[in-house]
Amino acid sequence: MSYQTLFEILKKLDISYEHIEHPPVFTSEQAGQSVPANRGVPAKNLFLRDKKGKRHFLVMLNDSKDLDLAALAQQTGSSRLSLASPERLHSHLGIEPGAVSPLALINDPDRKIELWIDQDLWQADSIQCHPLVNTATWILTPTGLTSFLQQTGHPIHFFTT
């Protein structure tokens, strides 16, 4: 699915967001230099897999937090977790590294990817997300993200850090 199609879906669902264009970013640190700090909570988005590569996870947490993969594996009932390869990211979500966000779940119609969000991040007024590209950031409310995820059919699983 394209960036333009994603835009049209949010418009159809009447989900408001703020759009910020910026140079390509590949890390949270680079994104922090490109998006004003007062515009939503910066989210760290990770695409993970279990040890056997049978389960895949899109994980969101506040960018200022560290993720304990062993603790998350326990909370998800999974075996050891690790970062998935760029090839897996592209084959499952159709995006490149640096563009990981829950908005990419629009490219997972079979709902094979599990979405896990840190409970603290979900309490924010608004959250930064990449819209399938790493050259823009959209700021959405948790309510807006919930509406979008209902459209994709992806339930939200919460975890604590």
Q: Indicate the domain borders of the chain.
A: 3-26+40-159
Beta strand 43-50 with 56-62 is antiparallel
Instruction: Give me the residue label for tokens 């990817």.
Output: 113
Q: Where are the beta strands (DSSP E) in 11-91?
A: 18-21, 43-50, 56-62, 81-83
| 84-119 confidence digits (pLDDT tens) | 999 999 999 999 999 999 999 999 999 999 999 999
Task: Return the bridge partners of 113, or none.
Answer: 56
Task: For domain 3-26+40-159, give the CATH superfamily.
Answer: YbaK/aminoacyl-tRNA synthetase-associated domain (3.90.960.10)
Q: Is the pLDDT of residue 80 over 80?
A: yes
Arithmetic mean of pLDDT, 116-131: 96
Two structure tokens written together for 20: 């910020």
Residue 111 φ then ψ, to 5°: 55, 50
Q: Is the pLDDT of residue 140 over 90?
A: yes
| CA atoms of 141 and 124, how far apart (whole Å) | 8
